[in-house]
Amino acid sequence: MIPNQWYVVMDSDQVKDEPVGVTRMGEKLVFWRDNAGKVSCLYDRCVHRGVALSKGKKVEGYLQCPFHGFLYNPSGAVVRIPANGKNAPVPERFKVRSYPTYEAHGFIWIWWGETPPENLAPPRFFDDLDDGFTYGRAYDPWDAHYSRVIENQLDVVHLPFVHYNSIGRGNKTLVDGPIVQWADEEEHFCFYVYNRVDDGTPPRRPEDMPPPDPGRVHLCFIYPNLWQNHISDKVRVMAAFVPVDAEHTLLYLRFYQRFLKVPILRELVNTLAMPFNVYVAHQDRRVVVTQQPKPSALRMDEKLIQGDRPILEYRRGRQKLLDAARPEEKQD
């Protein structure tokens, strides 16, 4: 995983009144809300005797360990040790790691890194997914490294083979381009799909393609783990690729639409759209979980072709962020 980044890790409504323990980024974490409703994230291990804090409860706006009642604040510091008395000072060493959190668009992010900057900016999201959209959603577990799941959604070559009876119908096996455009230097890029039936002519190179039309189908990616399929002005499919650990990913999948605004019918359409989207994802999952090695990397034993350009761009951007975060360490 890339350190020093905001990662979507959960849906907002997965954290309610009780603490919630999950595995994210290969770590046991606990999420909870204080009395003001703000989400906090701590290591799910009491500094005292090592039990899971997620088995505790909220007391006076703090997180209480279920074993000996230690109270933790959102920064991970113990503020009270009941056995020592309510007025006894607590040594500074009684503290567990915490991660900054951010909540918006129905998602919870954590800033996963060692020392967050003082002027930590909020995470980015897709500007064109405004409140005019509503959505249906699904969660899908994959036995794959999150980078492989991301790359699958950047892969335009596989469509007529993996999705021969769904979104890849039409036998459009020849791949022109693809055209990749970076919205900024390192965080956001889009690419346009130009697959066609093989008529014997060679695929056109990206530089020989006409300028892309933003109104046509295109896909966008925001590092480290957000993707959107811009199907039309009124229909989108969006995904967050949530790292569980080095070999497991949770796909948070959403179908957004704004062509139907009547409340009951709107929710019905949003719900009915999800089985098809999950079916398509499972077509992908069947092959992606077999990829070796599990994680992707910029330099690896794969022979890429012209149609893999979005994947290569992703790998270059990911490596750039890895190098900037920990230049002297080998990353997974």
Q: For the chain, 332 residues long, give each residue's pLDDT as a single digit of tens.
A: 899 999 999 999 999 989 999 999 999 999 999 999 999 999 999 999 999 999 999 999 999 999 999 999 999 999 999 999 999 999 999 999 999 999 999 999 999 998 898 899 999 999 999 999 999 999 999 999 999 999 999 999 999 999 999 999 999 999 999 999 888 766 788 888 899 999 999 999 999 998 888 888 899 999 999 999 999 999 999 999 999 999 999 999 999 999 998 999 999 999 999 999 999 999 999 999 999 999 999 999 999 999 999 999 999 999 999 999 876 554 45
Domain ranges of the chain: 5-112, 134-325
Q: What's the pLDDT score for residue 236? A: 96
From CA 212, how far away is CA 280, in angstroms rounded? 26
Q: What's the pLDDT score for residue 328? A: 57
Q: What is the CATH number of domain 5-112?
A: 2.102.10.10
Phi and psi at residue 221, to the nearest 5°: -135, 135
From CA 157, how far away is CA 168, in angstroms rounded? 10
Q: What's the pLDDT score for residue 188? A: 84
Asked whether the beta carbons of 325 and 4 are under 8 A apart, the reply is yes
Q: How many Cα atoms occupy the beta-carbon half-sphere of 98 within 13 Å?
A: 18
* pTM of the predicted protein model: 0.92
Q: What's the pLDDT score for residue 302? A: 93
Going by C-beta distance under 8 Å and a sequence separation of 6 or more, which residues neighbour residue 292? none
Q: What's the pLDDT score for residue 330? A: 47
User: What angle separates helix 309-325 from helix 146-153, to the nearest 10 degrees?
Assistant: 140
Q: How many Cα atoms occupy the beta-carbon half-sphere of 311 within 13 Å?
A: 23
DSSP states of 138-190: EEEEESS-HHHHHHHHT-SSSHHHHTTTTTTTT---EEEEEEEEESSSSSEEE
Residue with tokens 């990749």: 180
What strand order describes the sheet that includes 134-142?
134-142, 248-257, 235-245, 226-230, 218-222, 188-196, 174-182
From CA 196, how far away is CA 180, in angstroms rounded? 18
From CA 240, how far away is CA 7, in angstroms rounded? 9
Asked whether the beta carbons of 17 and 28 are under 8 A apart, the reply is no
Amino acid residing at 71: L
What's domain 134-325's architecture?
A: Alpha-Beta Complex (3.90)
From CA 273, how far away is CA 280, in angstroms rounded? 11
